[in-house]
Amino acid sequence: MSGNVMVIGVGGVGHVIVSTLIPDPLVDQIIAVDISEKNLKHLEEKYGREKISIHKVDARNSDQLSKLMKNASILVNAAHYSLNLNLIENCLRNKCNFISLTGGEELWIEEGSRFKEMVELHLQRDSEWRKNELTGILGLGEDPGLSNIFARYLVENFDELDEVVIRDADTVEDNRFIIVPLWSREELLLSSIAPAIYYEDGVFKKAEPLSICQEHVFPDPVKVKKIYLKEHPEVWTLSVFLPKKARRISFWYNYDGLSAEIIRALWKMKLLSREKVNVKGVQVSPFDVVVEVLPQPIDLVDIQGYAGIEVEVKGRKNDAFLSQKIFTYISHKEAYDRVGVNGTSYLVGLPAAIGVSLLLRGELRGKGLLFPEQLNPQPFIKELTKHNLPLIFEERRISELREPL
């Protein structure tokens, strides 16, 4: 079927989604919605209005949004994730399918996250979406998104699972910056100072922020990086929705240079507190000050390095204990040459655009509110190769098994 696609937020990630969908013959019209005139004007100057209609609308205005949504088959939220819950309700009322780049509302709070509540909220809404034969895909970016799809793809090769490990390999090789927020500045800091959560033997365990790290060798060209254990949505959702249960699930993130140590020091000094303090008669949030001195992600285009994601699954296959990995990456330079954004924005936006195309082609048949690991991974793997993303597979025999895990 063909249809109109509404994209909310057409900055870096939204720009990737729009540019990827324009050549798709099943996309009749792209309804571009943003509160920023600058973003909309940039889109119009680059692509014209033949297949795009632009609308300066605040996505929090449900009435205005509903009027536009009546003409849309699929809505993609490429703006802030705090809009997701209201957009899910709007899509249900207007019989519109939905894709987000993450799930939930205010996910990060200073003492941790609300990922558990996010999963529970979506489970409560799932039956109504299935009853209306609508599809909502929650967290279809890079990670979550590609990470979940890769995990599901590898899991199907095993008879029994032991461990799922996700490693984010986003890197920046640029001496101008100490801390480089390739995505939201606020979310980078808040996620870094949240307790590190991992899943083991049916229990979610907690470690102090940025306290567990290791060196990991990624495939070329990323190579050796220092990665840190972090909390992330996949730890929660994969423990529930994978078709086979893993004994351990963890997420690791690369911090370039001294950035992890500096963020940890800022946190220890309470300079990442959002509680306001009196500075010479002015009430100031230390957190807001730190955010403002960091570079804007949208301005990070002339940088060197890569965006990449690796998923490793360990478990039993036949009579052996194996490790299988998938890794994909793109350089920031190549992403800029393709669509004018950094590599992270590209890897976040591309899976959502692929999801739109697959829905329009009828290749994603699941109904309800779904996380990416609940989808058939095969169509995504095929589409990634069509978009010239390298997929590097590795299998390693760890040991012969004499008894079940």
Q: Sketch out the chain's domains with CATH numbers.
A: 3-140+343-375 (3.40.50.720), 146-340+390-400 (3.30.360.10)
> Can you tell me whether residue 180 is helix, strand or coil?
coil
Q: Residue 42 CA to chain centroid, in angstroms?
A: 24
Looking at residue 246, its pLDDT comes to 96
DSSP H helices, 48-179, are 62-69, 84-93, 115-131, 146-155
The identity of residue 151, as a single letter, is A
Q: Give the per-residue pLDDT at 106.
A: 44
Region label for 262, one of left (φ > 0), alpha (ψ between -120 and 50) or beta (otherwise) = alpha
Q: Residue 103's pLDDT is what?
A: 56
Asked whether 146 and 310 are in contact (CB, 8 A), the reply is no
Q: What is the pLDDT of residue 114?
A: 65
Q: What is the pLDDT of residue 145?
A: 96
206 within 8 A of 195, measured Cβ to Cβ: yes
- Position 402 scores a pLDDT of 45
Question: Mapping DSSP to helix (H, G, I), strand (E, B) and coil, where does residue 199 land?
Answer: strand
Dihedrals phi, psi of 402, to nearest 5 degrees? -105, -15
pLDDT along the chain (405 residues), means of 10: 91 92 95 89 86 90 87 92 86 94 53 65 85 95 96 96 96 84 84 91 93 95 95 91 96 92 94 92 93 82 90 94 97 93 94 97 91 95 95 88 46
Rounded CA separation 137/13 (Å): 17
**CB neighbours of 64 closer than 8 A, spacing ≥ 6?**
57, 58
* Token output for 329: 């990456």
DSSP code, position 384 = H
Q: Give the pLDDT confidence score for residue 187 in this predicted structure.
A: 83
Q: What is the pLDDT of residue 372?
A: 95
Q: Which helix (H) or strand (E) holds 392?
A: strand 392-400
Query: Whole-model pTM?
Result: 0.92
Cis preceding-peptide flag for 221 (omega within 30 of 0): yes
